Amino acid sequence: MSKGRKKKAGAKVRHQKKIAKPRRQEARVFEPPRDKPVYRKAFWGLSALIALLMLLLSLGSGINEDDKYQVDYSEKLVAWYTTFGKDDAALQVEKGNMHYYGGFFDLVTGLANHALGFTPRQEAYHDLRHLFIALLGFLGLLFTALLGREIGGWRLGIIILLSGFLSPRYLGHSLMNPKDIPFAAGVAMALYFLLRWLRQMPKPDWRTLLGLAGGIGLAFGVRAGGLILFGYVGLFALAEFVRRYGVSALWQRKEITGKYILYGAGVLLGGFVLGLLFWPYGMQSPIAHTQEALSAFAKFGTQIRVLFEGKSVMSDDLPWYYPLSWIYRSIPMSVFLGFLAGLVLLPRLWKRYDPMGLGLALFAFAFPLVYVIANDSVLYDGWRHLIFVYPGMLVFAGAAWLYLIDRFREKLQMRYVILGIFVLSLLEPAWFIARNYHYPYVYFNPLVGGISHAFGRYETDYWGVSVRQAVEEMEKRSLIPAEGEKPLEVVSSFWYNASLYLRKYGDRVHTDYVRYNDRFSKPWDYGIFPSRYLRGPHLLSGNWPGSRSIATVNAQGVPLTAIYEAGGKDIFQAAQAVKSKDWAVAIPLLEEEVKTHPDNEWAWQSLAMAYLNSSQPQKAKEAAEELLKVAPDNLSGLYFLSLAELNTNDMSAAEKHLLRAIEVDPEYAIAYFYLAIIHNQTGDTNRALDEVLKSIEYNPKFPNAYELAAQIYEKMGDSQTAARYRKAARGGQ
């Protein structure tokens, strides 16, 4: 071969090396399945019916106890915006730390109420708020169904509408929850438009961009936690890009990469700014105050007693599975069965539906749950704080139902069985809603025995929504005095709720707050007491609400709220005598009370204390035992019983009751104190020291415990430490 030919051949070879590799073929973009037009019409017809029903139902719902914080914030927001920031009370709201929350809902409803001339003292003010909550609850459900339509067509959307509306927990919160429902609506809206945006890239419709920014803005405009959607947008935009173009396209196809970044950043910035427009505190320093709010929520540890698994547990000491347990117990069977089937059929669902859409729904449900469990976040009042995960669960469960229905298209008998199971799973919650339409949020599913089995084990009406029906019951019984008659004294452990619905009677009814356990500390004619804050064993004993109750507001036969009648002044005179330690007066009054009302745990408790202070330990023991029959595991009953045993020198029995008290409440300081006394007297100094130090740990303002610790240290030969504890006992800590 000649040199010239060699050069040409070489040139040819070099030319071949410069040929670019063909681009990877783009993955197809999924589109919603095409259904018959009748399904589209059915979807929108059903949506209209559900919207109407939700709006109507909201007008019959009572307010929730937390409205006292929300309404206060609403008024402060209106003042801030209408004075252009001169009235800055909205920037620092100590009650409920409301300034950390976005004000979308409270500002919109506050301005509307002011425009209509309604004030917080009027029921119409709260009716308007409930209508707006219901509207947002419906929109949350609608966007969830539309997300399902994008994944599985109009039939899937219909399944989601039915399952969502007939979810008593979601429906119930949609009637009166101004925090969690607006947030859930924003999340659902964002998820729907996020999927549409991903499918439309790299040339998205401007309406889709506005919708996505609007959903993010709505969520962020309610709670700083709406920033979770920033992560969703980034994660799924990256996942969809890689699915369609491949990893290498991130740097090889810079034009498309740039569009993803540009549009993504645009909607996130738009949503952030939109949310800030409704959040005065956030406007002052958008980045710093957003971080501050997120940090405050992360540390947020409202310590309240909640009823869980039959025990009264502090909210910061609940087990990790608390939210999972609540979801399992309170979702309807249609969603539970569909979700369970979806997990079993996941590989098939993945092939049948758009994996990106189905993955988005499943991730939106699972990720927040994993996050709060991993971070040991403080939760209470069931799973209302996490209700924004429900749209993802509804979509996933609905997809499984639709798959099963279509799977047996040719086997009609099996298909009818599947349809029959689905319909039956809807009828049970529908019946519950029909019977308890004022407060459907107290629902528990048949898997756990319904609300009748949950009573005494889990919270039912934890927000006192049924207080409204209690007031209506008083009206039906003509208990409200006429003009000119003696005013009625009504007390409640949910005073804010009761006072709103009794305010229309003006001076004819006086209302006041009183805790249930201190219900006789001030005179009253009638008391309205929901079961919230009562201990599980007392509720399970069957002795609540007791013989002083004249009526109850029930759900499926389970008492939610009780109306008590005082029936005279003797009980209040007894309470005053106990308070002033006039045992000679208190004892006969209390003895008469327990004869008439043997299920009055307060009277037995006070009687045991009176007997102890009158040097009658045997009678004190009997009274404490009666108290524990009425209210098992009552801490005061265990305490007084142990003191009675100590007074009769039965230290073994006393120790047993004190140990039981600590099982009931591991932070019961007085029990540790008396255990320390017992061990100190029996010569177990080291154990006595451990117990008394626990008593001080749980009650640092208990001087007797410091004095006992000083005595124990002296006995152990540590006079220096003893002196320090003795000084603390005298107030020099």
pLDDT in tens, 24-55: 667 777 888 888 999 999 999 999 999 999 99
Residue 76 covered by a domain: yes
> What is the percent of the chain where pLDDT is above 90?
87
pLDDT at 301: 57
Q: What is the DSSP letter of 505?
A: G
More confident residue, 23 or 529: 529
DSSP string for residues in 587-607: HHHHHHHHHH-TT-HHHHHHH
pTM value is 0.92
Q: Which of 87-91, 242-246, 259-263, 728-732 has the lowest mean pLDDT?
A: 728-732
Tokens of 695: 């008593």
Q: Are residues 194 and 111 in the same domain?
A: yes
- Name residues whose C-beta falls within 8 Å of residue 514's C-beta, 6 or more positions apart in sequence: 491, 492, 493, 495, 521, 522, 524, 527
Residues 329 and 392 in one domain: yes
Domain boundary among 565, 598, 617: 565
Q: Where are the alpha helices (DSSP H) in 117-179?
A: 123-152, 154-165, 168-173
- 656 falls within a domain: no
Residues whose CB is less than 8 angstroms from the CB of residue 200 and which lie 6 or more positions away in sequence, other chains included: 208
- Which whole number is the average pLDDT over 191-214? 97
Residue 630 domain flag? no
Q: Please give the average per-residue pLDDT across 263-273, as a whole number.
A: 97
- What is the pLDDT at residue 7? 45
Rounded to the nearest 5 percent, the helix, strand and coil shares of the chain are 70, 5, 25
CA torsion, ordered 467, 468, 470, 474, to nearest 10 deg = 140
The per-residue pLDDT for 478 is: 95
Same domain, 145 and 186: yes
Q: What is the model's pLDDT at position 2?
A: 45
Tokens of 560: 């939610």
Residue 704 lies in a domain: no
Domain final position from 419, 435, 451: 435
> What is the model's pLDDT at position 19?
52
Tokens for 296, please give them.
């405050």
Model pLDDT, residue 22:
58
Is residue 361 pLDDT above 80, yes or no? yes
Tokens coding 48: 């209209």
Identify which of 307, 57, 70 has the alpha carbon closest to the alpha carbon of residue 168: 57
> What pLDDT, on the 0 to 100 scale, is given for residue 696?
95
Structure tokens at 20: 């670019």
Same domain, 490 and 347: no
User: What token pair was written down for 274?
Assistant: 């939109």
Model confidence pLDDT, tens digit, residues 418-444 = 999 999 999 999 999 999 999 999 999
- Secondary structure class of 114 (helix, strand, coil): helix
Same domain assignment for residues 410 and 559:
no
Residue 31 within any structural domain of the chain: no
For 272-277, the CB contacts below 8 A with 24+ separation are 272/216, 272/217, 272/220, 273/217, 274/213, 274/214, 274/216, 274/217, 274/218, 274/220, 274/221, 275/102, 275/104, 275/216, 275/217, 275/218, 275/219, 275/220, 275/221, 275/226, 276/220, 276/221, 277/217, 277/221
What's the rounded mean pLDDT across residues 141-167? 98
206 has pLDDT over 70: yes
- The average confidence (pLDDT) of the chain is 93
* Statement to judge: residues 225 and 171 lie in one domain: yes
Q: What is the pLDDT of residues 284-323, one digit of tens each?
A: 999 999 999 988 877 655 678 899 999 988 888 899 999 9
Distance of CA 648 to the CA centre of its chain: 47
- If asked whether residues 390 and 520 sit together in one domain, one would say no
CB 272 within 8 A of CB 220: yes
Q: Is the pLDDT of residue 16 over 80?
A: no
Same domain for 373 and 501: no
Q: What percent of the chain has pLDDT over 70?
A: 96
> Does pLDDT of 203 surpass 70?
yes
Do residue 334 and residue 211 come from a single domain?
yes
pLDDT value of position 411? 86
Is the N-terminal amide bond of 280 cis, ω within 30° of 0?
Answer: no
Both tokens assigned to 732: 């020099």
Q: Could you tell me if 532 and 442 are in contact, meaning their C-beta atoms sit under 8 angstroms apart?
A: no
Q: Any residues with CB less than 8 A from the CB of 427 and at least 6 apart, and which? A: none
Q: Give the other-Cβ count within 10 Å of 504's Cβ.
A: 13
Strands 488-492, 526-530: pairing kind:
parallel
| Range from 379-383, 556-560, 614-618 carrying the lowest mean pLDDT | 379-383
Looking at residue 11, its pLDDT comes to 46
239 and 315 part of one domain: yes
Residues 412 and 500 in one domain: no
User: In this structure, is residue 610 part of a structural domain?
Assistant: no
Split at pLDDT 50, 70, 90, the class of 9 is very low
Is residue 6 pLDDT above 60, yes or no?
A: no
Q: What is the pLDDT of residue 305?
A: 87
pLDDT digits (tens, 9 = 90+) for 450-508: 999 999 999 999 999 999 999 999 999 999 999 989 999 999 999 999 999 999 999 99
Return phi, psi of residue 307, to 5°: -90, 120
Q: In angstroms, rounded to a whole number, what is the distance separating the alpha carbons of residues 190 and 228?
A: 11
Boundary (domain end) residue, out of 538, 565, 592: 565
Of the listed ranges 183-197, 230-244, 304-318, 543-557, the least confidently predicted one is: 304-318
**Rounded to an integer, what distance in angstroms lies between the CA atom of residue 403 and that of residue 716?**
74
Alpha helices of 408-505 — where are they, by DSSP H? Answer: 412-435, 450-454, 467-476, 495-502
Is a pLDDT exceeding 60 seen at residue 4? no
Enclosing domain of residue 497: 467-565
Angle at 578 between CA 539 and CA 662, to 5 degrees: 45
Q: Is the pLDDT of residue 13 over 60?
A: no
Residue 507 lies in a domain: yes
Strand order, beta sheet including 488-492: 509-513, 488-492, 526-530, 558-565, 549-555
Q: Which residue has the tokens 């790299």?
A: 202
Measured between alpha carbons, how far is 335 from 16 in angstroms, rounded to an integer?
60
Same domain membership, residue 173 and residue 301: yes
Residue tagged 């589109």 (tokens):
31
User: How is residue 304 written in tokens?
Assistant: 């309240």
Q: Give the mean model confidence (pLDDT) for residues 628-636.
A: 96
Q: Is residue 137 part of a domain?
A: yes
Domain count within the chain? 2
pLDDT of 377 reads 87
